[in-house]
Structure 1
Amino acid sequence: MDITQYKISADKLRLDIPEEMIAELQKDIEAHSIIGQPRAIKAIQLGINIQGRGYNIFVAGLPGTGRHNAIMQILEQESPPNRFKKDIAYGYNFKDPRSPVVLYFPAQTAGYFKRSLKRAIEKITKSIRQRLTSEAYFKKKNQLIAEIEKKERKHLSEFKQMLGEEGFILVDRQDKDQNITDIMPVLDGKAVEFDVLQELAEKGSISHTEVEDKKQKYFSFLEKLQDLFTKFDLARLSLEEELAEIQKRYVSKDVKDELKRLASRFAGEKSIEKFLGLMAQDILENIPLFLEDNKEQPEDYIPPQQKYTINIVHEVENPDKAPVVFVSQPDYPGLFGTIESIAEKTGEERSNYLMIRPGAVLDANGGFLILRVDDLLRSEDLWNTLKRVLLDNRLEIKSVPSIFSNPSALKPEPVDIDIKLILIGTEFHYEILFQQDEEFAKLFKLPAEFDDVLPLSKESIREYLGFFKATCKNKHLLPVTADGAAELLYYSARLAEDRSKLSAQFSLITDIIKEADYMARTEGKTEINAETVLKVRRQRQYLFGMLEEKLDEEILRGELLINPKGTATSRIHGLVVIDRGFYAFARPVLITARSAPGTEGIVNIERESGLSGEIHDKGVYIIQSFLQSRYARDFPLSIKAGITIEQSYVEIDGDSASLAEICALLSDITDLPLRQDIAVTGSINQMGEVQPVGGVTEKVEGFFTVCRKKGLTGTQGVIIPRLNINNLIPSREVLEAVEEGLFNIYAIDNIDQAMEILTGREAGVREAKGFKKGSINRMIEEKLRKMAMLVKNFEE
């Protein structure tokens, strides 16, 4: 049986990127960091410039594809205008201090307003003190006081005269450290206590009736005295009110004129005009606050200089350019703002409008807020609140209650918001949010999808060279030579797993350049060439390769049953990729199959032991369906078979072992030995066709490494799906071994071709009278028919 027809020559495996072409392209190359991605760039540009609601942008793609850099660069190039163009501040609410009011200012004028207001309050304070310390005011004030004092003296004199006529006198006396006015009876021209009068009555000097009469009059006069003092208090209160009105008349014009001058500079801004009007009324109601500095005030007192100012929470940096805010570690206060508080001696917390603090949403007002989906979805509150802001175009700033503090009693007025949200995530994030959140589609009408690969062409190479130049320039790295660039492009194609593609995961390429720069500098080089890039890759393989070495040691010691020599029945070498996140490699595994007559079908031993993933389960079901449809056409499939991956103690998933598994099972059914020096990878369908699998380069290199360490014989090799040839970009060591005939790679289309390579026998095709005599398929069909007869006879 000639199997050389399935061999792939070294020429077909080689990926050449001419250094001459690279050197030519490098001459006039421009440094730029966005490579390819025309679809994603168009979507981002569209989202940036469309003003309609719901055109927020979801940027989907794998990490490292330059999503964030592309967004920032496109925003810089497009330079969209600021859509809000308003400064925002909170002011004291003179009607309800618990609800601070929002003030909107023309761009870049809030700071000017705050300074101007401070000067206005200083002028008003000075004016009030001058007006209310003037000679005219004091004359008027003293006149009113003199009038009321005159009336008080008159009423008091009349009361004293009445007391004298009745034998009483008005006296001042001390009572518990307090001076009080009292009434006392008069005897022989002297004021006496009632106790003295009572003693005299006991002695008979005066009658008891006279004493009682005095007492009755005393209480009557005391009530009249209290009524008199009440009249005095009411008169004084009326005087204070009259003085307050006079004060208002004296200062009202100054206060109103000063604030009107300030308001006139913001004509048309209704919130500012209303705020200053209410402030003028409040100043006139609280004139005494401006007359002197009062040191003893209640805890909730806000001094005039704080009450009559504003708290700026957003200032427009550039009216002609939209702000761009990226938050890497969002939390609730950082995104939406908060209200700070001060702990009082009583343990309670106090807040005022000056303690309102803005967050990233306010910072980005009129522009763009960029967030990573992973960061945002860590807290359900963040996502739900952000949705409400986008849907309502309003933001409510509030403190977040915690076990350490209570929510603030302040309820600031909501702020008008106009932002575009740019979310950075993966396709998986987009699909999950789209399916599970009914409001998501309303908000994100434009997904910008970043591909993880781009076509390998002269134009893409030119862009890649520009990326190398920009990276080295921006990060102050050594320049990359033509052969160094060729080696980096070869590595990029390996990452893309496609001979016609380059990887768009630029962060991985950048890491190689950084490490190459370090190695080149330590060696005294002034450029990064191919030799340095290769050294970096070998160093990485060494640094990340501890698990590889340990597995190889176990294989060489015979602890893992891998022997790439000779032939054996019912066993075959499959290939498994071990992905450690930061590094992926492959190693061969032993797959075995055993069969006997029965009705149970094919048993997936991994599945029965809980170590098989759903896709691996599917592959085993396909094997059973293939056997039934290919061979058991006129008799029932009567087989019990077990398939397993030996010495595997972790979950296995994927269907790339299904080709090896069917080959092992067919070997057991027919007793045909399989070559053990050939490893197999590939998935199958129900028609027996071999389908492509992932990680084919790692799988080929993994088996080659084991064969090299055990000793290359020239017969060893790997069977891969023909559809994977374009994905195979082997290392230079593998290429050299294939070129020298020390290692072989076979590409196939179906199971029959794999069995021919592994057994050296013809597979055979079905003809009118069945499969050809002596062929593998004839043997399989006859064995399965015999099993069916045995099961039937046993049951009978």
Structure 2
Amino acid sequence: MLSTNHELTAAQLRRTVDPQALGIQTTADLTPLAGLIGQPRAAAALRFGLGLDGLGFHIYVAGPPGLGKMTAVQTFLQDTAARKESPPDWCYVNNFDDPYQPKALQLPAGQGRQLQADLKQLIEHIRREIPKAFDSEEYGAKRDEITKTLNRQRAEIFERLGERATQNGFVLQMTPMGIAIVPVLGGRPLSEAEFQALPASAREDLQRRRETLEDEIKAAMKQVRDLERATQEQLQALDRQVALHVIGGLIEDLTEKYRTAPEVGNHLKAVQQDLLANLELFKPGAFVPPAPVPAGLPLPLPWGQDLPFRKYQVNVLVDNSHQAGAPVVIELNPSYHNLFGRIEKETQFGTLYTDFTLIKAGALHRANGGYLVLPAEDVLRHLFSWESLKLALRSRDIQIEDLGERLGFVAAKSLRPEPIPLDIKVVLVGQPLLYYLLHGYDEAFPELFKVKADFDTRMAWNEQNLRSFLAFLCTFCQQERLAHLDSGGAAKVVEHALRLAEDQDKLSTHFRVLGDLIREAHYWARQEGASLIGAAHVRRALDERVYRANLIQERVQEMIARGTLLVDTAGEALGQINGLSVISLGEYLFGKPSRITASVAPGREGIIDIEREVRLGGPLHSKGVLILSGYLAQRYAQDKPLTLAARLVFEQSYEGVEGDSASSAELYALLSALSGVPIKQGIAVTGSVNQHGEVQAIGGVNQKIEGFFDVCTVKRLTGEQGVIIPHSNLPHLMLREDVVEAVSAGRFHLWAVTTIDEGLEILTGVPAGARAADGQFPEGSVNAQVERRLQEFAQCLKEFATTSATEPHGATAGSDQRAHH
């Protein structure tokens, strides 16, 4: 008859939630959730990190996937950001001194677009009005007056030169090569032949006078050039005067408009100087737009017609005109360009072109003055992102760089935009392991991310957290536009949260998984035409989820039912027991029973773990087996050596074995083999054990119990079957309803034990036995039989050693020699 001393009742196997106790008809009756739920530690860390502006107090949010960290952080940051001022706009403008180094302008929020529009309007006005000014009669009259004065002065100079030439017997002729001095005789210019025919004295006299005249011509031509230069300066001054009449007032108005931004005033002065230095662009006919492109040919770039005037534009990099409070930017693809921006290039006719108008903002620019949330693993995965981010946080500025130039892919000279000051709080979201790796291997990480916000996977079961959890259900249904849950459906979701937490006193915070459950339940509710999600819909969603994922589990159970995998669920066996393990298939877990056997013999090898010998056992499993030797020595070998050769193995195990949760089952099998007392095969065991025989808690207790229950169901429930678990796992029980019903009906059993002896009595039906005052175990107890067997092994080895010592030396040597050969 089975022991009932440690047997559990159905009420201990699952925490049920009474729908009436929730106090709602549907989740629509609730107020949507505001703020974080069940994360007081993370909330405190976030408040601390966001409230501290010191260098390096950026935040790392740590927690496993599926907790809703990103959404929770976003909500938290938006509430904080709403109470802060909007950050300024940032613009890039042309650097007229060095176009390869564009200048950055900071303006109050919303003024970036205004400045862009104002300068665009300014240039359009100038392009329209300056040609009119240059076409005016007044301008033409002044220009004609200046040019007429030049022409008159130039004519007077040439007239005087002509008179001097005539006086010296020459005439001046204009040629393409300049002014030619031709000798005159008898009022007629001489040809070269006639000149050579003259007497030598006449030629010498003419040559001497020509040289004198040439000096006078050079002086006169210099005077003409000086006059032309002065006239050109007068014309330029006139042009500047006319243009300044058009430009000056507009520039002054803009300077006054943006007087709170000194950098803008300096830029407007530079614009004015460049406009006045390039007035030819604005004169009538100075710039002819490209001719229409014939059909079939590629169209020119849209900026082609305005290219000469592009340098006067304003590139609004960050526009915060519609930003209420500080920005919260979540960048899910943190590549270098997405973080730091890029310098784009345009191509026309095979030539790459770039300027300040092609600078594009990154997430750091958009989040400047606010908060930037990044997935930590993705930042590390992208080339240059992590190192550049650390540099930016250290230097507190944003430097846009062309990666192609850094990698040597671009030979052309690129832009070097002026760095923008960085005022930002970065929040990295990632797993705890990554935090510890970065903290241990990256020297800069602990300097920059000094605040860690830990997200817990569970929250305590109390009234406040339960109300918050129900509010989450309300919020989720509203945001996802799903049907609301009635009280029964909400109760089932709460129970599933308890099961996910593997604790009757904890609610899971894996809101992604819970959200998926609500979506699936909504689907089944819609299939039935229901307006609310009820308990039946949640239950079906869970059942359908299992059905979609448990093909392999069913195949394993089928192999057990057919006897392909040897697992007995009835009868008794010596040195044999059913251990329980958990198989993980993605997000689906199920328990699988495995036969564990033990064989014993006299020897000094101790306990040999066959799984370890063939390298199928992990270090934790091997540790559990080694603990068994400590238990046997402490319990049975205080007055004699432990002379034992034992073998332990998971039968038909072809994959790796890891963990120590089967160490108690292995010990039971070993004690059965030693004592000769058989173990009931209808009882499976899970739990680890220490050297003092205390049974310790393990993970996956619900899946292990349910896995053995399913196998027993397939092979037929007898009412004698069950599972022994550690007593410390009682709070973790959230078993399926069908298992609870079977226990309630007496068709299945569960026992919770704290020691190996308690489990022995349940498995064997024989008292384990406690050592009496005389140091002996009670006769007939399991422990007494184990101790007697170990004494027999010790005596056997002693006699064998004595016999071996009395044999002739040659015989022993011969035996050794034969064995060697």
Same fold? TM cut 0.5: yes
What's the counterpart of residue 322 of structure 1? 326
Q: How far off its partner does 1:590 sit?
A: 1.8
| Secondary structure, aligned partner of 1:591 | strand
Structure-1 separation of matches of 2:403 and 2:311: 25
What's the counterpart of residue 456 of structure 2? 451
Q: What is the identity, as a one-letter code, of the residue corresponding to 2:265?
A: E
What's the counterpart of residue 343 of structure 1? 347
* Structure 1 segments unaligned to the other structure (5+ residues): 174-178
Q: Is residue 400 of structure 1 aligned with residue 403 of structure 2? A: yes
1:784 to 785, 790, 809: 790
| Secondary structure, aligned partner of 2:654 | coil
What's the counterpart of residue 770 of structure 1? 775
C-alpha distance 218-615 of structure 1, shift in aligned 2 (>3 A): farther
| Secondary structure, aligned partner of 1:611 | coil
Structure-1 separation of matches of 2:768 and 2:186: 151
Work out the number of aligned pairs and report it.
784
1:41 to 39, 43, 55: 43
What's the counterpart of residue 602 of structure 1? 607
Structure-2 separation of matches of 1:623 and 1:216: 130
Q: Is residue 414 of structure 1 aligned with residue 419 of structure 2? A: yes
2:239 to 239, 244, 247: 247
| Secondary structure, aligned partner of 1:766 | coil
1:684 to 674, 682, 689: 689
2:514 to 509, 518, 522: 509
What's the counterpart of residue 441 of structure 1? 446
| Secondary structure, aligned partner of 1:104 | strand
What's the counterpart of residue 19 of structure 2? 19
What's the counterpart of residue 379 of structure 1? 382
C-alpha distance 296-605 of structure 1, shift in aligned 2 (>3 A): farther
8 A Cα contact 1:399 1:408, kept in partner = no
C-alpha distance 162-508 of structure 1, shift in aligned 2 (>3 A): same
8 A Cα contact 1:83 1:367, kept in partner = no
8 A Cα contact 1:683 1:692, kept in partner = yes
Q: Is residue 706 of structure 1 aligned with residue 711 of structure 2? A: yes
RMSD: 3.6
C-alpha distance 26-190 of structure 1, shift in aligned 2 (>3 A): same
Structure-2 separation of matches of 1:568 and 1:757: 14
Structure-2 separation of matches of 1:586 and 1:642: 25
Q: How far off its partner does 1:88 sit?
A: 1.0
Q: How far off its partner does 1:377 sit?
A: 2.1
Structure-1 separation of matches of 2:570 and 2:205: 139
Structure-2 separation of matches of 1:779 and 1:212: 151
Structure-2 separation of matches of 1:313 and 1:478: 43
C-alpha distance 673-232 of structure 1, shift in aligned 2 (>3 A): farther
C-alpha distance 624-234 of structure 1, shift in aligned 2 (>3 A): farther
Q: How far off its partner does 1:358 sit?
A: 0.5
| Secondary structure, aligned partner of 1:535 | helix
Q: What is the identity, as a one-letter code, of the residue corresponding to 1:592?
A: T
Structure-1 separation of matches of 2:754 and 2:48: 45
Structure-2 separation of matches of 1:231 and 1:650: 104
* Structure 2 segments unaligned to the other structure (5+ residues): 291-302, 806-821
Structure-1 separation of matches of 2:519 and 2:55: 42
What's the counterpart of residue 94 of structure 1? 96
C-alpha distance 208-639 of structure 1, shift in aligned 2 (>3 A): farther
Structure-2 separation of matches of 1:390 and 1:185: 84
- With 244-253 and 309-318 compared, the bigger mean Cα shift is at 244-253
8 A Cα contact 2:164 2:213, kept in partner = no
Q: How far off its partner does 1:322 sit?
A: 1.5
1:652-731 residue pairs with structure 2 within 5 A?
652-731=657-736
1:50-129 residue pairs with structure 2 within 5 A?
50-83=52-85, 85-125=87-127, 128-129=130-131
Structure-2 separation of matches of 1:182 and 1:300: 48
Q: How far off its partner does 1:180 sit?
A: 7.9
8 A Cα contact 1:721 1:748, kept in partner = yes
Q: What is the identity, as a one-letter code, of the residue corresponding to 1:446?
A: V
Give deviations 1:261-298, integer Å, cap 9, x for gaps: 21112223221122122222222222222224544799
8 A Cα contact 1:569 1:668, kept in partner = yes
- With 601-610 and 490-499 compared, the bigger mean Cα shift is at 601-610
1:300-311 residue pairs with structure 2 within 5 A?
303=307, 305-311=309-315
| Secondary structure, aligned partner of 2:5 | helix
Give deviations 1:406-440, integer Å, cap 9, x for gaps: 57611111112222222222222332233333333
Q: What is the identity, as a one-letter code, of the residue corresponding to 1:247?
A: D
What's the counterpart of residue 475 of structure 2? 470
Indicate the percent of aligned positions where both proteins have the same amino acid.
35
Give deviations 1:721-741, integer Å, cap 9, x for gaps: 011111112112111221222
- With 668-677 and 549-558 compared, the bigger mean Cα shift is at 668-677
Give deviations 1:670-697, integer Å, cap 9, x for gaps: 3432222211111112222111111100
- With 98-107 and 250-259 compared, the bigger mean Cα shift is at 250-259
1:629 to 613, 631, 634: 634
Give deviations 1:104-141, integer Å, cap 9, x for gaps: 11121121222222333344455544554455544443
Structure-2 separation of matches of 1:760 and 1:219: 142
8 A Cα contact 1:26 1:465, kept in partner = no
What's the counterpart of residue 176 of structure 1? none
| Secondary structure, aligned partner of 2:403 | coil
1:233-312 residue pairs with structure 2 within 5 A?
236-252=228-244, 254-292=246-284, 294-295=286-287, 303=307, 305-312=309-316
Give deviations 1:537-589, integer Å, cap 9, x for gaps: 22111111111111112212222122222222232211111111221111111
Q: Is residue 543 of structure 1 aligned with residue 535 of structure 2? A: no
Structure-2 separation of matches of 1:497 and 1:106: 53
Structure-2 separation of matches of 1:634 and 1:270: 94
Structure-2 separation of matches of 1:788 and 1:219: 139
Q: How far off its partner does 1:633 sit?
A: 2.5
8 A Cα contact 1:498 1:729, kept in partner = yes
Q: What is the identity, as a one-letter code, of the residue corresponding to 2:258?
A: F
Structure-1 separation of matches of 2:208 and 2:647: 121
- With 541-550 and 4-13 compared, the bigger mean Cα shift is at 4-13
What's the counterpart of residue 10 of structure 1? 10
Structure-1 separation of matches of 2:72 and 2:259: 42
Q: How far off its partner does 1:160 sit?
A: 6.1
Q: How far off its partner does 1:213 sit?
A: 12
Structure-2 separation of matches of 1:718 and 1:191: 136
Q: How far off its partner does 1:699 sit?
A: 0.4
- Give the TM-score normalised by the residue count of structure 2: 0.86
- With 608-617 and 726-735 compared, the bigger mean Cα shift is at 608-617
- With 336-345 and 544-553 compared, the bigger mean Cα shift is at 336-345
Structure-2 separation of matches of 1:4 and 1:217: 145
8 A Cα contact 2:578 2:594, kept in partner = yes
Q: What is the identity, as a one-letter code, of the residue corresponding to 2:313?
A: T
Q: Is residue 368 of structure 1 aligned with residue 371 of structure 2? A: yes
Q: What is the identity, as a one-letter code, of the residue corresponding to 1:335?
A: L
C-alpha distance 632-286 of structure 1, shift in aligned 2 (>3 A): same
- With 736-745 and 37-46 compared, the bigger mean Cα shift is at 37-46
8 A Cα contact 1:84 1:418, kept in partner = no
C-alpha distance 333-82 of structure 1, shift in aligned 2 (>3 A): farther
Q: How far off its partner does 1:454 sit?
A: 1.9
Structure-2 separation of matches of 1:409 and 1:493: 59
Structure-1 separation of matches of 2:253 and 2:14: 81
8 A Cα contact 1:659 1:684, kept in partner = yes
8 A Cα contact 1:171 1:183, kept in partner = no
